[in-house]
Structures are given as structure tokens and as C-alpha cells.
């Protein structure tokens, strides 16, 4: 039995959406979120304070950052041990800094992943925490802009602790508080002032350096919005006051 015209139209529409979803997935954005073996997501404030989220498999933490957690997905892993590893309390192993840290555990494709949130008053403090000591962080002024630089060097431990497929990816992502003047990411700025740098896990394991450079406006987007709103409101009030004065003057003259 043949398909009716409306049925053929519905099937065509579904096929178009499926193709669009596949294209979006291949490009790393859109319907399907790209999955990373290890990713750092930095929320930077203009005063230098920062929050760094880490999402990583246990295997990547062991291979890249010199951790020694049991990668068995059913193994018991102490959250206190994870918090200390990421710098909670008196400092992380091999590091001289400390930070406010929260952690959680999850599974993906039958494997154990860690999510850690690290809060510091000064982004440059991150480099003094062992899990992030492969990076040098710099934040300062350059002419009329705020400049952020991060150099990511060699991992803490050579080699790999898992049977990698060669397709694993590592990502370093930034959420920025003001208008971006310049950046050296090969990807376009995403909505919400988000920038991303990617590396194959194999390059990260080999210690291939990655340099991040961003220049920002010194005033936050929120402040700019409030100033614009305030100036618009002030102009409206001045216009209204002028109109009231003009009407009152005409009545007086009349």
C-alpha cells in the first residue's frame, strides 16, 4: 500500500530534522553535546576571583594529574579524598595552595567520572594547587583591556592508565564576564560569552602545550547593561521634565 501525500510530507520533515541533528552532532554543537574525557570550565570574574569546574574520568585524572584512584566503576571512592586532591583544606598533594572544593561522582558509559567545583579568590592561585599546577595563570591590564593568559604544559604523569581508543578529547572552556576584545580560540564565541579550546587526549598525554589568551572589556556586561538602562531612564525623565516645564510655561504665558 502506498503512502498518502500527508504521510510522505511528515516523513520528509522527520528526515530533515534527523539530518540536521546529525550535522549538529558532528560539528560538536547543537542537539548532542560533545563528550570529553577531561574538561576544565573556568568562570572568571573581573576582580580576579574564579570558579573552576572539572569533569573528568577517573582514568584521565590518574593519567594526566598523577592521581591514584581506583578506576573500577564499582569501587568505593572517598569524597573527602577527592576534595583533598582538588585542594580543599590545607592544600592538595604536591601543591601549596588551598581552595573551597565540592565534589560529586557519576557514571557514563559504565565508567566513573568526577565533577569537582573549585572556588578561589584569585585565579592565579589555581596554579598553586597540584591538580592545576600544569597551568600558569596570569590576569592583568593591557592598555584599556583586561588580559587573561593560561599556559598549559606537561601532565603530571606520563603514559596512560586505560585502553584509550584515540578518539578521546580534552577541553578547556571559559565563561567570561564582559565583552571579548580578542581571543585565540579556533572556535567561535558561544552564547553567554563562552570560549573553548580543544585537544586530543593523546596530545595532552604527550604534553603538547596549549596557550590560552583572552582580552576583555574592563566593565562587566551587567554593569554595562545597568549603565545603559540608567542613562536611558535619565534621558526619559529629563525629556518628561522638559515637556512638563514647556506645558507649564505655555499656560503661564497664556
For residue range 194-251, what is the model confidence (pLDDT) as tens digits? Answer: 999 999 999 999 999 999 999 999 996 444 343 334 444 445 555 666 666 556 766 6
**What does the pLDDT read at residue 172?**
98
Confidence of residue 88 (pLDDT cuts 50, 70, 90): confident
Report pLDDT digits (tens) over 134-144.
999 999 998 89
| Domain definitions of the chain by residue range | 1-33, 35-224
Is residue 3 scored above 60 in pLDDT? Answer: no
135 strand-pairing partners: 152
**What does the pLDDT read at residue 30?**
45
Report pLDDT digits (tens) over 97-110.
678 999 999 999 99
Report pLDDT digits (tens) over 116-136.
999 999 999 999 999 999 999
Is residue 153 scored above 60 in pLDDT? Answer: yes
Q: Convert the chain into a string of H (helix), E (strand) and C (coil).
A: CCCCHHHHHHHHHHHHHHHHHHHHHHHCCCCCCCCCCEEEEEEECCCCCEEEEEEEEHHHHHHHHCCCCCCCCCCCCCHHHHHHHCCECCCCCCCCCCEEEEEEEEEECCEEEEEEEEEECCHHHHHHCHHHCCEEEEEEEECCEEEEEEEECCCCCCCCCCCCCCCCEEEEEEECCEEEEEECCCCCCECCCEEEEEEEHHHHHCCCCEEEEEEEEEEEHHHHHHHHHHHHHHHHHHHHHHHHHHHHHHHHHC
Nearest residue to 180 via CA among 228, 225, 148, 150: 148
Cell of 234: 535619565
What mean pLDDT is reported for the chain?
81
Amino acid at each position: 500500500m502506498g503512502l498518502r501525500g500527508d504521510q510522505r510530507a511528515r516523513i520528509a520533515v522527520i528526515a530533515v530534522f534527523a539530518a540536521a541533528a546529525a550535522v549538529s552532532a558532528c560539528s560538536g554543537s547543537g542537539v548532542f553535546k560533545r563528550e570529553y574525557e577531561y574538561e576544565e570550565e573556568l568562570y572568571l570574574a573581573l576582580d580576579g576571583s574564579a570558579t573552576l569546574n572539572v569533569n573528568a574520568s577517573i582514568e584521565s585524572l590518574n593519567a594526566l594529574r598523577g592521581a591514584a584512584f581506583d578506576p573500577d566503576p564499582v569501587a568505593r571512592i572517598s569524597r573527602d579524598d577527592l576534595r583533598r586532591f582538588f585542594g580543599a583544606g590545607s592544600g592538595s598533594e604536591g601543591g601549596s595552595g588551598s581552595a573551597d572544593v565540592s565534589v560529586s561522582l557519576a557514571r557514563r558509559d559504565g565508567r566513573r567520572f568526577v565533577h569537582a567545583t573549585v572556588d578561589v579568590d584569585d585565579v592565579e592561585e589555581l596554579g598553586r594547587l597540584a591538580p592545576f599546577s600544569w597551568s600558569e595563570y596570569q590576569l592583568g591590564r593591557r592598555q584599556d583591556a583586561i588580559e587573561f593568559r593560561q599556559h598549559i604544559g606537561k601532565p603530571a604523569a606520563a603514559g596512560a592508565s586505560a585502553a584509550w581508543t584515540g578518539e578521546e578529547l580534552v577541553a578547556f572552556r571559559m565563561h567570561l564576564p564582559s565583552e571579548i576584545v580578542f581571543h585565540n580560540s579556533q572556535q567561535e564565541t558561544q552564547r553567554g560569552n563562552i570560549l573553548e579550546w580543544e585537544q586530543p587526549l593523546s596530545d595532552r598525554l604527550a604534553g603538547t602545550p596549549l596557550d590560552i589568551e583572552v582580552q576583555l572589556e574592563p566593565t562587566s556586561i551587567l554593569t554595562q547593561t545597568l549603565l545603559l538602562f540608567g542613562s536611558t531612564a535619565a534621558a526619559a525623565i529629563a525629556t518628561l521634565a522638559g515637556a512638563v516645564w514647556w506645558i507649564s510655561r505655555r499656560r503661564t504665558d497664556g
